[in-house]
Structure 1
Amino acid sequence: MKRLIDLIKNKFFLVTLAFVIWMIFFDKNDLFSQYEYHQQLNKLKQEQAFYQTETAKVNKDLEELTSDKAKLEKFAREKYLMKKDNEDVFVIVHEKKK
């Protein structure tokens, strides 16, 4: 017990304890902020991976559309419902099951 009281009275221990408490709870870069920054970083990395895959898909589609006239016509018909002058377009919409 005397040893614990001596430790509490030690000025170096008190200063170190105050420093640790300050760094954990009150500093600009405390542990809670670091955890939030880490979570935000993980979210941004996931978004980066998503956008990189989407960019790769779009670049692949662009390459296909600029290289082949038949694929360009097929893409325009499917995505934008374009048609030739003497054609009719019928759009079939499937109902979603509830």
Structure 2
Amino acid sequence: MNFFKKITTRYPFLKFLGNRYVLVLLFVGIWMLFLDNYSYFEKGILEKKIDELENNKQYYLNEKRRDSAAIKQLKNPDQTEKYAREKYYMKRENEDIYIIEYEGDTLEDDNTKSL
């Protein structure tokens, strides 16, 4: 206590720190700004995550709409056959299929690049 009186006589503007209510408010303020799970700084990080998740949500909703349109098209037998021929290289009986690949069209493994 003697130490506090020496400091307050030397620096009178620190006299209000002797009040226990000010000390409690100061402690709570520091706790809320820096140490709490929902601190001011943590809020910014959480806001960025929310924005990223909202963007992901919009992307997946668009993908869902696109896939729903593709499913509607695949209910038609002609479209199903076309999709199977293009995607899975299926063929009709007595029919030959020639697959022509150009450079850059196929993905290469990392292992084949290093060899």
Gaps of 5+ in 2: 1-10, 106-115
Using CA pairs under 8 Å that are at least 6 residues apart, name the structure with larger relative contact order, 1 or 2: 1
Give the TM-score, by structure 1 length: 0.80
Are 2:54 and 1:45 equivalent residues in the alignment? Answer: yes
Q: Deviations over 1:12-59 (max 9, x none)?
A: 332211111011112222233322222222221111111111111110
**Structure 1 unaligned residues grouped into runs of 5+:** none
Match of 2:95 among 74, 87, 94: 87
Aligned residues: 95
- Which whole-Å CA distance do the structure 2 matches of 1:31 and 1:81 have between them? 57
Moved more, 54-63 or 88-97: 88-97
Please tell me whether residue 18 in structure 1 is matched to residue 11 in structure 2.
no
CA drift of 1:78 comes to 0.9
Output the aligned Cα RMSD.
2.0
Name the structure 1 match of 2:81.
73
Normalised to the residue count of structure 2, the TM-score between the two structures is: 0.70
Distance 2:67 2:103 in 1: 28
Among all aligned residue pairs of Structure 1 and Structure 2, give the percentage whose two residues are the same amino acid.
29
Q: Spell out structure 1 runs of 4+ moving beyond 4 A.
A: none
